[in-house]
Amino acid sequence: MQTVQPIRDKHQIEMMKTALLNTSYRNYFLLVMGLNTGLRISDLLPLRVQDVRGKSHIVMKETKTRKNKRFLINIELRNIISDYTIELSDEDYLFPSKKTDLPLKRVQAYKVLSQAASNVGIEDFGTHSMRKTFGFWHYTINKNVALLQDIFNHSSPDITLRYIGINQDIVDKSLEHFSL
């Protein structure tokens, strides 16, 4: 399995959004939802319009942990959801497959997102990069590992910091000018 990284450069995030928006609003919306909620791809793909339209929170049972989760939808994301779902029915999947009546499969989501990442020069990208990017920027802005640990349902702060790549950044920085 490939080790993926968060996107640490906001300019690259914007470039990826633009690349996806130019090809498919659904794919752009998938990235925006992933970056702004920190949900796993396995929790994003089965979402239906009724789960998010007109709502202030996403309420769900996480696929991996089977734990209940209630997650705030920020105002900017609520506006994007409103625009995206305006002509959709409540029962419609947010990320429908173009070939079936089912939601997009994880493999297809990976292909779409990783191709866009590659096109804009982002390396080590996978579907989990959206969740890691959310975590990286949440920590960078708030500096509260305990809060992020709770959001991610991790068992320790060390796991959270390692997960979002902060530990590796700290190690790299400490070694950059270290020489004997």
124: left (phi over 0), alpha (psi -120 to 50) or beta: left
User: Of the listed 28, 93, 139, 163, which one is catalytic?
Assistant: 163
138 is a catalytic site residue: no
11 is a catalytic site residue: no
17 is a catalytic site residue: no
What is the C-alpha radius of gyration for the chain, rounded to an integer number of angstroms?
17
User: Of the listed 8, 26, 69, 154, which one is catalytic?
Assistant: 154
Closest CA to 139 of 50, 8, 14: 8
User: Of the listed 48, 53, 131, 132, which one is catalytic?
Assistant: 131
User: Of the listed 11, 64, 70, 177, which one is catalytic?
Assistant: 64
55 is a catalytic site residue: no
53 is a catalytic site residue: no
Residue 133 in tokens: 């990017």
End-to-end CA distance of the chain: 36
131 is a catalytic site residue: yes
User: Of the listed 128, 132, 138, 139, which one is catalytic?
Assistant: 128
- What residues are labeled active site? 40, 64, 128, 131, 154, 163
